[in-house]
Chains A and B, each alone.
Chain A
């Protein structure tokens, strides 16, 4: 009896030992994946309109052949996300699987649209149904949950919850799907094909506007932040200005800029040669950059302040000059926080550049507003989807840079 006790005890302990902890984000990721799997079946994959003028009607997906196979892959992918998310170490794979499920969803849609239109009128148009959109959104959110859980596992990681792996699978996958022609039956792709050069020009223009605004904001924020590091009153003024600008509605700010810039161009006509005038790129870039001042300056200042006081004291005490301290101490220790500010600003810049079309600066916004004017949902999407994609890609790229730049010898 006495001999048997340790064994019983061990067995008791073994049965009572808690199972490996399920990550907190697992439930959310699994629920979202389940939602994604069921939504297209509940709310419809596809809607078809006889021509461009009548409103589309949901149709059922012809579930045979390639379409059925695609739908099965999609459902299996969602199931995989839910199962993989239950282990913290497998969260990255759950995220990748979510990307694969999204690709299966898209392929199913393209194949289904092809089958549904087969033999139909040439003017008939196939668009993704509500179920498709909500499923795609659920998958993105589910991947975001996985990314958040993965980052929480890495102690002290400030990379944020950008689903980098999801995007790394989804973006090249979507490019391949588009290139393969599987998606061609969709009206969105037809629209894109007929407006190819216009779309491409708008995309470049959009990126240029955003980059220009970012550069201009940087030109203002970098020197002012460096000065503000030493002068508390300048910092208060800079932050008050940057905060104040955020409150002005962007359309109002663009409008406010039009009059003075037009005036300037009237006084010095030479400025027009540089593209500066009441409408066009100048008010758009200046207006957008005004909003980027806050995230940029806040990120820069917080980055410059990352170095603890005792380390700065030691650096000065050894005879490092302020320039050397900036280069060797403040910048490397603050790079993460500064990139965080840049990340926020860059994503904002891409979003705000959509409004540049309102002052005649072009960009993807021009396509969106054209679509709104014509009540053409495909055209709106044609403008909006590249904006969303661009934002996500920039965010993911800067998040990866942030993770890579984290100082090798973190404080323990």
Chain B
């Protein structure tokens, strides 16, 4: 869907993005992770031509975007930034309607779309439509930012540290909302963050950047392998790398199937469905056992976790 083909961007003599090749598959949620100044935003902004590469090209659905006029390209790409950037003199409904109006939708279609989007991002339309941005909390404003980006139903969404300025609790809520919206709408999302926890929570695919170069790319479990690049290890924190890795592995894959010879003990704590090994370990620590039960009757032992990690 989005393909970077050896793209480079220089400011002065410094290559801020250095010959990066990366592909984000259709419907995927790819998280660009890296320290501040590693070139994540620059790479992301090449997709909607807010930054023009000095070398290489960016393909969108097989088309070289250099041949698409920037304005019409951007109408088809949702854009969410950390500071939100709602227009302060426009009501919430008008803010959300920005791109549909640029595309010339009629008023009735715009109005019903605005209400549907407010519902999608979890804000009651009748309460929020007519508000001005200064009447919103930070979390509400970013929900509106997300609704605005989704307004014309673009297939691609670019999100540049959208939740980084929010309090942890609010951020958590928005992350959950984004996962839900991604599952419902199957958008292709490129998501920039410097927060390891956030990256692991959201990513289908992880791309790790350092000094303008792509260090690692793949499913989170692959990126966090035991023999990962030392710089990747340092980025995730050497001490907690194994712990983070547990978060990328499904508990069901490491569990022992229910067997007749060893019937599951009735009083074992039960792990919720679709849990990962980190959650399994937390449950064991919490309940003081070395075994937990899975919903299907399978059991998971502490030694299974050690073997999988």
A interface with B by C-beta (< 8 Å): 310-311, 313-321, 324, 328-329, 332-333, 407-412
Contact B132 A320 (CB under 8 A): no
Contact status of A411 and B134, CB under 8 A, knowing A310-B83, A313-B85, A319-B70: yes
Rounded to whole angstroms, the CA-CA distance of A154 and B26 in the bound complex is 52
Can you identify 22 A-B contacts, CB atoms within 8 angstroms?
Answer: A310-B83, A313-B50, A313-B81, A314-B81, A315-B87, A315-B98, A317-B48, A317-B74, A317-B79, A317-B158, A318-B79, A318-B99, A319-B70, A319-B72, A319-B99, A320-B71, A320-B98, A324-B102, A333-B89, A407-B89, A409-B91, A410-B134
Q: How far is the CA of A412 from the CA of B134 in the complex (A)?
A: 5
B29 to chain A, nearest CB (A): 19
Q: Name the residue on A nearest B132 (C-beta).
A: A409
Contact-residue bracket for chain B: 20 to 34
Tell me if B133 is interfacial: C-beta within 8 Å of chain A.
yes
A329 and chain B: residue at smallest CB distance: B87
* B148 on the A face (CB < 8 A): yes
Smallest CB–CB gap between A172 and chain B, Å?
34
A409 and B83 contacting across the interface, CB-CB below 8 Å: no
8 Å CB contact of A314 from B72, B86, B134: B86
User: What is the CB-to-nearest-CB distance from B87 to chain A, in angstroms, rounded to a whole number?
Assistant: 6
| CB-CB nearest in chain B for A407 | B89
A319 to B71 Cα, complex, angstroms = 4
Q: Does B75 contact A (CB under 8 A)?
A: yes
A405 nearest CB across to chain B (Å): 11
The reply on B237 being an interface residue by CB < 8 A is no
> How far, in angstroms, from A171 to B82 measured CA to CA in the complex?
52
Most buried by A among B70, B84, B87, B99: B87
B88 at the A interface (CB under 8 A): yes
* CB nearest to A406 among chain B residues: B89
B243 interface residue, CB < 8 Å from A? no
Find chain B residues with CB under 8 A from A315 CB.
85, 87, 98
Residues of B with C-beta under 8 A to A319 = 70-75, 99, 102
Tell whether, in the assembled complex, residue B102 and residue A409 are in contact, meaning their CB atoms are under 8 Å apart. no
CA distance A319 to B102 in the complex (A): 8
Give the interface SS of chain A, mostly helix, strand, loop or mixed: helix
In the bound complex, CA of A349 to CA of B84 (Å): 43
Does B105 sit at the interface, judged by CB under 8 A? Answer: no
Contacts of B86 in A (CB 8 A): 311, 314
B113 to A: closest C-beta gap in Å: 15
Q: Tell whether, in the assembled complex, residue A332 and residue B99 are in contact, meaning their CB atoms are under 8 Å apart.
A: no
* A305 to B132 CA separation, bound complex (whole angstroms): 22
Asked if B84 and A318 make an inter-chain contact with CB atoms under 8 angstroms apart, the answer reads: no
- The smallest C-beta distance from A340 to any residue of chain B, in angstroms, reads 17
Since A315-B85, A318-B102, A328-B87 are in contact, a sample of 6 more A-B pairs with Cβ atoms closer than 8 Å, ordered by chain A residue number, is A310-B84, A311-B86, A313-B85, A314-B84, A314-B86, A409-B90
Chain A residues, CB < 8 A from B85: 310-311, 313-315
Residues of B within 8 A of A324 (CB): 102
* Chain A contacts for B148, CB-based, 8 A: 318
The residue in chain B whose Cβ has the minimal distance to the Cβ of A314 is B85
Considering only residues 2-38 of chain B, those with a C-beta below 8 Å from chain A are none
- Please indicate the chain B residues that have their CB under 8 angstroms from the CB of A320 in the complex: 71, 98, 102
Given contacts A310-B81, A328-B87, A333-B89, contact A408 B50 (CB under 8 A): no
Question: Are A321 and B79 interface neighbours, CB within 8 A?
Answer: no
Residue of B nearest to A311 (CB): B85
Contacts of B50 in A (CB 8 A): 313, 316-317
A26 to B78, CA, bound (A): 54
Q: Which 10 pairs between the two chains have the least Cβ-Cβ distance? A: A314-B85, A409-B132, A412-B134, A319-B74, A317-B79, A407-B89, A310-B83, A319-B75, A310-B85, A319-B71
Q: When the two chains form their complex, are residues A311 and B88 in contact, meaning their CB atoms are under 8 A apart? A: yes
Among A316, A328, A407, the residue within 8 A (CB) of B88 is: A407
CA distance A317 to B98 in the complex (A): 11
The answer to whether A410 and B79 touch across the interface, beta carbons within 8 angstroms, is no
Chain A residues with Cβ below 8 Å from B70 are 319
Q: Mark B40-59, 1 if CB is under 8 A from A, else 0.
A: 00000000101000000000
A9 to B78 Cα, complex, angstroms: 61
B145 nearest CB neighbor, chain A only: A314
Tell me the smallest distance from the CB of B209 to a CB of chain A, in Å: 21
Per the 8 Å Cβ criterion, residues 121-138 of B in contact with A are: 132-135
Chain A residues with Cβ under 8 A from B88's Cβ?
Answer: 311, 333, 407, 409-411
Are B79 and A314 closer than 8 Å at their CB atoms?
Answer: yes
Q: Which residues does chain A contribute within 8 Å of B90, judged by CB atoms?
A: 409
* Distance of B31 from chain A, by nearest CB (Å): 19
Complex CA gap A21/B168 in Å reads 41
Most central of A316, A317, A321 by chain B CB within 10 Å:
A317
How distant is the Cα of A408 from the Cα of B130 in the complex, in angstroms? 12
- Which B89-111 residues have a C-beta within 8 angstroms of A? 89-91, 98-99, 102
Chain A residues near B99: list those with CB within 8 A: 318-319
The chain A residue with its CB closest to the CB of B82 is: A310
Contacts of A408 in B (CB 8 A): 89, 132
Counting chain B CB atoms within 10 Å of each CB, which of A314, A316, A318, A410 scores highest?
A318
Chain A residues contacting B91 (CB-CB under 8 Å) are 409
> In the complex, what residues of A have CB within 8 A of residue B48's CB?
317
CA distance A311 to B195 in the complex (A): 24
Residues of A within 8 A of B72 (CB): 319
